[in-house]
Amino acid sequence: MVQKFQKAAHMDYKRIVKSVLQEDASFPYVLIYEHDKTKVYRIDLPTPLILRILEGDTSSQEYRAALQSELAADDDLTSKIMHWETREINKQPHGIQFQTFIPGEPIAQFPNEEESKAVVHAVYTLHQRLSQAAERIGTNSAASIHALINQIMPAVRDCPIKTAAAQLLAQPRYHELISQPDQTLIYGDLWYKNLLWERNGSETVVRFVDIDPLVMGPAILQPAILFSSYFLFTKLLFEPNAMDTFDLEKYLCFWPEQLNEFDMLLMMLVFPVGLGLLKEFQISQAGDLDPQLRRATMNPFEQSIAFLNRYMTERNHSMQLLR
Mean pLDDT of 138-153: 89
DSSP 217-258: EETTHHHHHIIIIIIIHHHHHH-GGGGGG--HHHHHTTSSS-
Q: pLDDT tens for residues 232-272?
A: 999 999 999 999 889 998 999 999 999 999 999 999 999 99
Can you give the pLDDT at residue 2? 43
Can you give the pLDDT at residue 317? 53
d(C-alpha 105, C-alpha 111), whole Å: 13
Q: Report CA-CA distances (Å) from 78 to 89, 132, 204, 269.
A: 28, 15, 16, 27
Considering only CA atoms, which of 214, 209, 212 is closest in space to residue 78?
A: 209
Mean pLDDT of 148-175: 95
What is the percent of the chain with per-residue pLDDT over 90, rounded to a whole number? Answer: 60
d(C-alpha 196, C-alpha 313), whole Å: 35
Can you give the pLDDT at residue 10? 60
Q: pLDDT tens for residues 55-110?
A: 887 777 888 888 988 998 888 899 999 999 998 888 889 999 999 998 888 877 89
| Rg of the chain on CA atoms, in Å | 21
Q: Tell me how crowded residue 252 is: count the other CB atoms within 10 A of its CB.
A: 21
- CB of 207 closer than 8 Å to CB of 78: yes
State the Cα torsion 124-128-130-131 to the nearest 10°.
130
CATH H-level, domain 113-314: superfamily: Aminoglycoside phosphotransferase (APH), C-terminal lobe (3.90.1200.10)
Asked if residue 4 has pLDDT above 70, the reply is: no
Domain boundaries, the chain: 2-100, 113-314
316: confidence class by pLDDT, cuts 50, 70, 90: low
Please name the fold of domain 2-100.
Phosphorylase Kinase; domain 1 (3.30.200)
State the Cα torsion 128-129-132-136 to the nearest 10°.
-170
Asked if residue 206 has pLDDT above 90, the reply is: yes
Mean pLDDT of 298-308: 94
Mean pLDDT of 119-140: 93
Q: pLDDT tens for residues 45-65?
A: 999 999 999 988 777 788 888
pTM score above 0.85? yes
